Every structure is written in structure tokens, then in C-alpha cells.
Amino acid sequence: MAAMKGTQSPCPPTCEEPVCPRRLSLGLCCMASKAASAAMQAILRRLESSNDFDIIIFPEADILTKPAEEWPIVECLIAFASTGFPLEKCREYCRLQNPRCINDIDAQAILCSRVEVYRTLEEANVPCPDHVIVDHPSIPEGSLDFVENENFIVYKGHKIDKPFVEKPEDGDRHDIWIYYPGSIGGGAKKLFRKVKNQSSEFDPQQNTIRRDGTYIYEPFLPTQGTDIKVYTVGAGYVHAEARKAPTVDGKVNRSKDGKEVRYPVVLTTGEKLMAALIVKAFRQNICGFDILRTDGGSLVCDVNGWSFVKGNQKYYNDCATLIRKHFLDQEFGAENVNTSTTMILEAPADEKLHITYSPLEEQDYAMRESRVNRTPERLRSVIVIMRHGDRRPKEKMKFKTKQASILAAFDGLPDGTGEVKLTSLEDLQNLRSRFEKVAETLREELQAVEESDNPDEDKKQSLKEELQDIELLVPVLSMRDRFSGLERKVQLKATKWKESSDGTKQVAQVQVVAKWGGELTVNGLAQAQELGSRLRHDLYPNDPTGLLRLHSSFRHDFKIYSSLEGRCQITAGAFTKGFLDLDGDIIPILVSLVTRDRYSQTLLDEPVPKVLRDQVKKKIENLMLSYQDMSEIFDQSCPTGHQGLREAAYRIGSPLQKLHTIRYDALEYIQEIAAAKDRTFAEMSQHNSSDAEATKADDSDQAASYEDCGDDAVPLGVPVGPGVQIPEDLTDACKRKWLHLRRKEHRWRKLFDSFVIDNGNGEGKGKDECISYNTTKIPDLWDNLYYDMVTHRHYLGARACKKAEQLVSSLHPLNEWVCLSEYGISQEEKIDIGVDVTWRLVGKILNDLEFMIEDDVGSIEKDGKRADSDDNVPRSLSGVSAGSNGRRKTGMPGMGIRSPGEDGPASPQSDPPALSSPMGASRKGAWAEMGSSDNLGDRSTSPMKREDHGLLPPPSSAPAVLSPPLAEASKGFDRGVTPPSDSQPARPRFAKLSSTTKLTPDVRDQLKQAMRDSSDWHPRLDREVTKMTDLKHTRVVRSRVYVTSASTMHSLFNILRHASGEQELVKGLDNTTDLNYLTHLVFRCYEQDEGSDQISQTQLDDSLSPRSRARQAAQARYRVEVSMSPGVQVYKNSRHVQWPKGSELKESTCKVAPLQIIGESLDLAWLEQFLSGAVKEYGPRNDDDDEQEDAGAKSDG
């Protein structure tokens, strides 16, 4: 036998003194290759360092050749089966010696059969794929029970269409095959254990299934090309990683050190519950299984038994700590030995560490903790709403066409469909091919007209214009910037219709609207990641590393939502990378961790209603096109008294005169850009004559060739199109500068032509009195200028920079006033638009802040007692129709609003069954979260429960609470493998595996649906879950991050700033004007730890029902802190410069402003009343015109 003698831990802070009466003998019984693996050795080193175990490794030769009676006798045993392992002999050993096992040995027999695995999953109510089990040898020849077709199979009436998966019953066989239908060519993908960099291969000739044994057949479920591998250490600790699915191309992605590339995954609470149920059902504390995330929900497709995470030191530390605690608790009892999870077993000094978080230092706390006279408290929820990062300017073009191949995009769509939106790469490439064919046809038609004896000039001109439009669009569809695909989109909007022979309407003409640009800059990406790292430290000062274990335990419930805008998605990915201290590329993080579905769109992409927006635009235009000094008409320009807005008006003075000045400066700036471009071209010509020759067409403003520019470029004299593209691999700095300047000049000329409206003719052309302006382009002018000053000063040169700096002083105040006024000029308009844009998000914020309240009052009956049933309690925004007492009754589809103090039951529409679909016609249609998680708390009336919620007096003594983040994880260890004591009868070896069989069918169905779908975990299931998993109540910290655009941020700030009524909610927003990139608003909710029952009965409203009174009492224990940062701002000598000079606007001076507290200590009830009151009074509009193209456009800066 091999032994590892205990040695003094190399980590003295964790293991300085012995913590148990004696050392335990711990045996490792497995195949030699498993015992020698890096993961196993890492765990053993940590267990050895605790000085609690004498570790004995069973030699493989003894395991295979000697009888069980001759194996070493140990008190504790780690044993698991793998290929060649004599499981029956090991089961015999356990019956003889009764060691304390981390994983039940008898139950491991289940894992040898995929049929038994699926059967056990179904008994445990864990969702798994629909499947049929076919024992081919038992089917008589010629039987009709089983039918095979080239596109499907049928077994006893159960039909499964191809593509489907064929799995052998034997769990040790990895030859899983996927069959494809003959309609697309047939064949099969054959999976196998990884061999070097290959994990599967495609066989085009394999079209018939195997019939040599028992196989499982299930539909092939798309998972976006990823598999999720889950690893448990007890029921309360879960680690998950995603890898590229072997079904994609069979190639294994490996890192530089040869390891398979895997990415972090944050599991939903339903998925974490799957892990807990699997631990209990299979009686395997250390276990691995596979999850498929599909459109139909999450499913478990395989359970592997003993599995370790590879190469993750933090996991090794946690795993060893929990194993130690498990064995010591079983041997000595938790009350007799210190097994606190604060004693983390860390790596030996000579082990190479993978640092997963930055060291926390005092100076990292940019945000001070509130200093209020309150009892000790703990953080319960953190909500961050933020704007996307620094981006490139956005661009747009429009034209109309009647080409049949373009109109064909509407074929097959429902009759009357008026718009098609194309955003995917496949759709855009398909559209590009269509336009290229159209362009070829138009060239032939144009040539025929020109060569005719009597050419039709009108037709010739029409063909030329249409051809030019299409030739300008093709480069947009071909852009190859890395993130351009997320920002590029094309809309085909029907503008003319015709009636077909069968009476249906057909599209006869479409308007093509192309939008591109707006991609995050390199600096914007870096700032978003840095902000994530900063907020992790600032917002979780007492638990900065616990957040990094959010995927492993139930303590942290984190989710990040993104608008569908590409710049928001990439910002969310970069922020998450910093927030969770992740490695690797942004895209896998974005795909794995960021929620960006239709639900997110309803929260974060709501447009400003067209009627309101047009009214405000008209007011802005009238004010802007006037010579009257804006500071003299504050009743029109700044009626709200906003000091920052009034300062902007002072700096504007006469707006029309200011616009004339901007016109002159902008034209001179464009000329300087052109001059810098010409100088760069001359410089390039001197040192590389071949390049100059190849691009000499630039003298006539023609684009360089595809080989030189990386794309078809656009003639600069035409103010449309994307401009020249810069290849990512271009190494010639001079040429890159020249291409940037050409692109910049093109963009500015196009913008200038759309901004200036010259109504003069002859001698009057160009004179001030004949010039008007498109005032909606003012923010676009600032976007371009800001981008040039911050990103491309080194390309512009001194002369162009000087002119741009001059333009900054004129344009900046105008932009600030317009951007703030776009969302309403009067107070009523600001709140009106603010509520219309953010009412769903406001409700979601309240839901996030109050998720724990439902735990407190969710089962209070009318008599004030806690009931056994789990009636769902509507939150504050779920009872009375919107606008019922307000000035406008518009109604909120799918939900209602109850004012905070209102009593009485909700209407049927607003109070559906607890597990109804969040996006259905339920009361929570707008508020219920998709895919987040409440806690798995204990709903019993135990003393610990009463202390947790403060509804009853706390007990005189309470058990010590283990420190996060591992405390709650240790509660989930399966104790079923404990050997019998003298006073306790032996447990039957094959006791019932699943406790879910005791549930009623209704609860079983609800539990299964809650795990399968992507909706929030609902508290009504907590009590049953606690019984099944032994997981005790723990106060979960809910963290939600919402990444959105400027329109949402302005709207939300307007509600906080102007909807105060008689009492001001927040302070410090009066001077804030610039909500720049990465502006963020933070809500943090705290719960008092002590004195939570001190609220006097006289403070409660006697007119309320017992349930409402309980809710009011619960709310009194919570306070909310509101903070904000205006995002990227200019700093000089570490001081914020609100109105910077042009020379001060540069990359080195632009930094993300620290958070400042604007709401020191708000009562949760008051905040709820304030926000729900604003939504109730102003309600959302049902504006049918919002779907129009311009109505859907968001001014997101």
C-alpha cells in the first residue's frame, strides 16, 4: 500500500493547531491513473496539509488481484469506479468494513447504465431529454414495434425525427452517434473519447442505426454549440464550465498549455437545484453531469459519477475544505470539532497558483460606506443600470427599390407584413448576394440604354441612381470589423403595395434602411472591464471574493442583462469579465453569461413614443432656430429649474447664431482633415512609390482597391455609404493613418450635408439668412467630434486639432441642452417620457430590491398566521390598473399596479398561478424575471427561521453561522452514506433514491417546470426543496446588472430627478448634465441584522390586512442606498471639469467618474411608493406608431 504521511501545512494561517482529537485514516481506492491525476493529487495535498488524516492509497495491483478482505482497513474512504475497476469487490469491502464514504459505493452501479441513469433522473424529477429505450435483440424479426426510415424512427408509436442521438446503454461506451435526415444529405456524426485534438468525425455513408444491443434515442437539441459540464461537492456547492460541443466540428479547442478550452458559466437556481437533486438521488457528493441549455429549457443529458474540475486552484481549495468537513462532522460531530469553512485548505507553497481575483486594498474603496446610526446590517441586493461604453459614431443610409429579388424577402411571411429586419451574418450575406446580382443586372440595362440610338435620359438617370445606391450598400454588408456584425442591420420597409390575383396584398416597393457603426472602441472596452473590477470591490466590501464563487454556491444570485444593441452587448461582456475576474475572450463570456433575449429587449430597448417625441422635437427645433438668447426665456428653454441645463443655456446664448458659428467651424475642420489626408498621402508617396501609384486615384476622391483597403470603398464626394475600411492586419502606420483620415473626411462630409439646409438660390446660396439646420443632427455632430478628440488626435495633426478644439466650445453646451431636452422640456414631459421608456425596468428594479420580502410574507393568511400553502403574494406593482387614479388611463398590458398602501386582493388578471410564464398575459408579464434566482430558503417555522425573518421573537440562542461563501455549501452534503452507529440501525443499502416521489403530482410538475424553463426561481417551492436537499435557508445576495443606451438612462434619471413631488427622493442630480458613456446608477438594499422586531405596533397601519401589515413590518427592516456616476468625464489634476476646454478633451483626461451617493438611506417602503406612484400616475402609452422605423430609433449617444 502507498501512504501519504501528514505534514505541517504550508499555509499556517489556516491550519496552525490540530482541530480534531485524533487523525483519521483516509483511503483512496481507485485505478492508478485516477489516483495519480493532477486534480486528485491537488486535493490530497490539501487534505494532507490539514493534519487531520493519514492518507492511504490502495495500490492498483491489490485492488485487482487481492480479495477485499486483504485490502487496507480505513475509517474514511474515497472510492469510485472507472474502466477496469472491480466495483463489486469494492461493494463487498464496504459491507465488511463500513468506512465512511464520500460517495455511496452501491449507488455507483446505477451510473454504469444510461438507462438506469435516465430512470433515476425521472424519479428525482430532474428534467432530461425526451427519449425512447430500444432493446433491439428483444424485438422479433419483422415486428412493427420498431420502424426505421431515412428521416425518422418509430418505436411502439413514439416517433423521433432526425437529427436524433443514439446512445449505448453501457455508460462506459462513448461511441455516441448523431444521425441526420436524408433530406439534407444524411450521414452521421460519430463521437468518441478525445484523441489528441479530435472528439468526433462525420461519416456521410452511415445512415442506418445500430441494432446490436440496447440503445437510447433522443432528439438532437441545439445548444448554440456549447456543452455545460457541472461538478458538485455536496448538494450546496456547484462549479460549471462550458466547452465547445463535440458535435460542432469535432475539433477540440486547446489553450497554449494544451488544456481543453473551457469557459465559466453561472448556473440558474433551477440548474443548481438539479445538481442538489442529483447528489441526493445518486448519493454521490462529488459528482459530474452534463447540462444542455436549449430553447425548451435546461436538461440533464448524462451523469458521470466522480468528476473533478481540472486546473482550478480555487475549486481545489473549496473541494478539499468541504471533504474535510464532511468526514470530521461524521466522525466527531459538528459540535465537538472545529470544521468551520473559514478554514480554507489552500495550495502548498510550491504549487503553481492561478490567481482568480486581485488583492483587495483599502485604497480600492472609491465608494464610502454609508455612515448612519443603524444596527448592524447585511447586503441583500445590488442593482446596477449602466450605459454602454465609448463607441464609434453611428451611420445610416436610405433608398427605395422595386427589384423583385429584394421584394422576395417578404415571400412566405404572413399577409400584410410591412417590415423585415435583417441582423444575422447569414441574412446580411444573403442580402449582399442579392444586391450584387441586382447591380449586375442594372449595369447591363444601363449599358443597353446608353448604346441605344435614342437613349431615354430619364430612365438612364434612374438606373444610375439606383445602381449607385446599391453599390454603396454592398460595402456596408461586407464590413469585416470584429464587432461590426453586432451593430450592422438592414430594414426592408414596404412603402407600396399591389393586389395579387387571389386578392392578397403583395409588396411592390420597399425602402432599404441600413445602419452601421457604433462599435465599441478599444478604450471603451478597457473602461468597461475596469469598471466591472472596480464595482466588484466597491459594492461588495465585505465579500469581494465570495462573488467570484457565485457559480459554485447559492449565496450569490447574479445576472446581467443587455439591450439588443451590439455596443451594449459587448459592454456587458467586458464588464462581466472584470466583474467576475474572468480570463479569455469577450465573445464566449458574452454568449455564456449575458442575457440578451426578447425579455431583455422589453426592459431595455423601449423607444420613446412617436407622438411625444415629435412634439418635443418640434419645440427643440423652434427654440434652436431662433436668435433669442435662451437664458432670457428660461420658462421655455429650462422650465424645470435644472441648474446644469440652465448653465448650458447661458453658454449657448443665441442658438441660431451659435449654429452659424458651428457651421463655419465644422466646414473649416473638414477642410483641415482633407489637408491632413493629402499631407499623409504625400508622405506615403515618398517612402513607398508602389503604394502611391496604387492609390493615386485618391486625387479624384476615388477609393483604394479592395487589396489595399480591405473592402470596396466609397467615393468620398458622395455623402452616403460606410467610407473606406481599414484592414485589421495593416502594419503600415502611414497608410493606416491615411485610410483613417479618408474615412473621417467621408463621415464628416456626409454628416455636414445632412445637417446644413441651404434654401438659397443664386447669390443667396450659402448666406446665413438662407440657411436652416436639421437640429436632430446636433448630437451626431458631437459624437463625431468627441470621437476624434478622444481617439484620433494623433491622426489629425496640430492644425486640425486646433480647429476641432475651437468647435468643442461652441458645440458642447448645445449638445448638452439638446440631449437633455430630447426626453422632455417641461417637467410633465420628462416624467411622461421617462415612465413610457422605463416602466418595465422600474418594476423590475423594485422586484429585484424586494425579492426577499416575499419570503417574509409569502404565506401569511388573513388571520396573520403563516399558512402551509404557498400562496403567491403580488408585489407592489401588481394590483390596480395603471392610471386608474391618474390623469391618463392607458393600462399596462399584462400587469397591474397596486399602490403601496392599498389593501384587497388583486384582480384575476393580475394574480395568476405562481409559476405562470413571465412573458405571458400574467400580472408579472412586465416584472417577472427570466432566468434569475431567488434563494432556496427554509420555509419552516423553526427558531432559526423566525430569527431570519424577524416575524417572531428570536430564540435565546442560535447556532453559529458559518462565514460565506462556503458555509451554505457545506449544508448540502448527502449524509445517506454515513455508516450505522451503535444506537442507530443500519440504513438499507438500496433505500429509495428520490425524495421527490413523495411530492404531489402538482408540485412535481411545478418543480420540474421551474428547473426546465429560464424563469426566476419561485419561493413557493423552497420548503419542498429544503426537505429534499437538506439545504438550509441562506440570505442570498441578488445582483442584477442592466446595460442599456442613453435614452433609458436619461429617462430613468428624469423620473428620479423630477417625479419627487412634495418630498425629494435623491440629491445631487441638479447639476448633472452629461450622462456620458458608462454612466451608471446603483441601488443597494440592506437588511438589519438586529432589532428587526423592534418596530412598534403603532407604526403599522391598522386598516391593512394581516398580510399587508406583515409586509409593512418586513419592509421596515430594509433601507436602500442610491448612488450614481455620470460615466466618462474629463479630469484635470484629479478634479472633475464639467465644461472642459477643447484642449482638455483627450483620452488621457477621460476617466470613469467614481460613484457618489445621491440617496443616503431611503426606506424601502418609501422608494417603492415613489417609483410605483410615478408609474401609476403617468402609466405607459399604447402608441401604435412606435413600431415605425424612426419611432424605434433610440438616441443612445
Give the model confidence (pLDDT) of 652-666 as tens digits: 999 999 999 999 999
Give the highest mean pLDDT range of 380-384, 846-850, 1063-1067.
380-384
Using DSSP's 3-state secondary structure scheme, residue 60 falls into: helix
Cβ of 446: how many Cβ atoms within 10 Å?
18
pLDDT value at residue 626: 94
Residue 609 pLDDT grade (very low, low, confident, very high; cuts 50, 70, 90):
confident
Provide CB contacts within 8 A for 723, sequence distance 6+.
713, 714, 716, 742, 743, 746, 747
Its pTM stands at 0.67
**pLDDT at residue 369 is higher than 70:** no
Overall average pLDDT of the 658-676 stretch: 95
CB contact at 8 A, 930 and 557: no
CB contact at 8 A, 409 and 420: yes
**pLDDT at residue 251 is higher than 90:** no
The string of DSSP letters for 689-758 reads HHHHHHTGGGGGTPPPPHHHHSS----TTSS-S------TT---HHHHHHHHHHHHHHHHHHHHHHHEEE
The string of DSSP letters for 1103-1130 reads TS-HHHHHHHHHHTTEEEEEEEE--EEE
Lowest mean pLDDT among 212-216, 633-637, 965-969: 965-969
CB contact at 8 A, 755 and 811: no
Overall average pLDDT of the 708-719 stretch: 30
Instruction: Provide the mean pLDDT of the chain.
Output: 75
CB contact at 8 A, 119 and 69: no
Q: Nearest-CA neighbor of 1171 among 1020, 1096, 1060, 1030?
A: 1060
* Residue 764 DSSP class: G
Overall average pLDDT of the 107-112 stretch: 93
DSSP H or E run through 271: helix 269-282
- Kindly report, residue by residue over 265-276, the tens digit of the pLDDT: 778 778 888 999
- Report the share of the chain in percent with pLDDT over 70: 67
Residue with cell 431529454: 129
**pLDDT at residue 481 is higher than 80:** no
- Kindly report, residue by residue over 813-858, the tens digit of the pLDDT: 999 999 999 999 999 999 999 999 999 999 999 988 887 776 555 4
- Kindly report, residue by residue over 296-327, the tens digit of the pLDDT: 788 999 999 898 888 788 888 889 999 998 99
Overall average pLDDT of the 576-595 stretch: 76
Residue 704 pLDDT grade (very low, low, confident, very high; cuts 50, 70, 90):
very low
Overall average pLDDT of the 558-579 stretch: 90
pLDDT value at residue 915: 25
Q: Nearest-CA neighbor of 925 among 884, 883, 967, 891?
A: 891
Cβ of 840: how many Cβ atoms within 10 Å?
21
Lowest mean pLDDT among 111-120, 789-798, 909-918: 909-918
Residue 853's Cβ-count burial label (10 Å; 0-12, 13-18, 19+) is buried
758: its cell numbers: 441651404
DSSP H or E run through 457: helix 457-477
pLDDT value at residue 1011: 58
- Kindly report, residue by residue over 1098-1124, the tens digit of the pLDDT: 456 667 777 677 777 778 888 999 999
pLDDT value at residue 703: 34
In whole angstroms, what is the distance from residue 897 CA to residue 876 CA?
A: 7
- Report the share of the chain in percent with pLDDT over 90: 36
1193: its cell numbers: 430609433
Task: Please give the angle made by the CA atoms of 637, 649 and 653, to the nearest 5 degrees.
Answer: 110
Residue 587 pLDDT grade (very low, low, confident, very high; cuts 50, 70, 90):
low
- Kindly report, residue by residue over 920-978, the tens digit of the pLDDT: 333 233 333 433 333 323 323 222 222 222 222 233 333 233 334 455 555 566 655 43
**pLDDT at residue 616 is higher than 90:** yes
Q: Nearest-CA neighbor of 835 among 1048, 1016, 994, 1020?
A: 1048
In whole angstroms, what is the distance from residue 450 CA to residue 440 CA?
A: 15
**pLDDT at residue 993 is higher than 60:** no
Residue 1179 pLDDT grade (very low, low, confident, very high; cuts 50, 70, 90):
confident
Give the highest mean pLDDT range of 27-36, 263-272, 609-618, 850-859.
27-36
pLDDT value at residue 1190: 43
Residue with cell 459594492: 539
In whole angstroms, what is the distance from residue 1165 CA to residue 1100 CA?
A: 12
CB contact at 8 A, 476 and 516: yes
- Kindly report, residue by residue over 141-164, the tens digit of the pLDDT: 888 899 998 889 999 999 999 889
**Helix 793-821 with 778-791: angle, nearest 10 deg:** 150
Lowest mean pLDDT among 51-65, 411-425, 657-671, 889-903: 889-903
The string of DSSP letters for 500-557 reads -TTS-EEEEEEEEEEEEE-PBPHHHHHHHHHHHHHHHHHH-TT-TTGGGGTTTSSSEE
pLDDT value at residue 886: 37
CB contact at 8 A, 1129 and 1151: yes
HEC-encoded secondary structure of 344-365: CCCCCCCCCCCCCCCCCCHHHC
In whole angstroms, what is the distance from residue 997 CA to residue 870 CA?
A: 20
Lowest mean pLDDT among 915-924, 1133-1142, 1163-1172: 915-924
In whole angstroms, what is the distance from residue 393 CA to residue 161 CA?
A: 48
pLDDT value at residue 6: 35
**pLDDT at residue 534 is higher than 90:** yes
Cβ of 523: how many Cβ atoms within 10 Å?
16
Overall average pLDDT of the 871-875 stretch: 34
Overall average pLDDT of the 32-46 stretch: 92
pLDDT value at residue 746: 84
Overall average pLDDT of the 219-225 stretch: 71
- 888-891: which pairs have CB atoms within 8 A and are 24 or more residues apart? 888/1178, 888/1179, 889/1179, 890/1179, 890/1180, 890/1181, 890/1182, 891/1179, 891/1182
Task: Give 965 or 228, the one with higher predicted confidence.
Answer: 228
Q: Report phi then psi at 73, rounded to 5.
A: -90, 125
Q: What is the dihedral of CA 1023, 1028, 1029, 1033, to 10 degrees?
A: 10
Task: Give 375 or 445, the one with higher predicted confidence.
Answer: 445
Order of strands across the sheet that contains 158-161: 146-148, 152-155, 158-161
The string of DSSP letters for 156-188 reads TTEEEESSEEEEESBTT----EEE--GGGT--E
Q: Nearest-CA neighbor of 1148 among 527, 698, 584?
A: 527
Order of strands across the sheet that contains 556-562: 594-595, 556-562, 1037-1044, 377-387, 1080-1088, 1118-1125, 1156-1163
Provide CB contacts within 8 A for 1157, sequence distance 6+.
367, 368, 370, 1068, 1121, 1122, 1123
Overall average pLDDT of the 244-272 stretch: 64
Task: Give 600 or 621, the one with higher predicted confidence.
Answer: 621
In whole angstroms, what is the distance from residue 987 CA to residue 166 CA?
A: 37
**What are residue 233's DSSP bridge partners?**
286
CA separation, residue 1001 to residues 835, 996, 1005 (Å): 42, 10, 6
pLDDT value at residue 641: 83
**pLDDT at residue 595 is higher than 60:** yes
155: its cell numbers: 418505436
**pLDDT at residue 1158 is higher than 80:** yes
Overall average pLDDT of the 347-361 stretch: 46
Longest dimension (CA), the chain: 112
Q: Nearest-CA neighbor of 1050 among 774, 818, 786?
A: 818
- Kindly report, residue by residue over 482-507, the tens digit of the pLDDT: 455 566 789 999 999 988 777 788 89
Lowest mean pLDDT among 334-348, 767-781, 1104-1118: 334-348
pLDDT value at residue 602: 86
CB contact at 8 A, 1147 and 523: yes
**pLDDT at residue 718 is higher than 60:** no
- Backbone region of residue 234 per phi and psi (left: phi > 0; alpha: psi in -120 to 50; beta: other values): left
pLDDT value at residue 467: 87
Does 163 sit behind a cis peptide bond, omega within 30 degrees of 0 on the bond before it? Answer: yes
Overall average pLDDT of the 548-575 stretch: 78
Using DSSP's 3-state secondary structure scheme, residue 204 falls into: coil
**CA end-to-end span of the chain:** 70
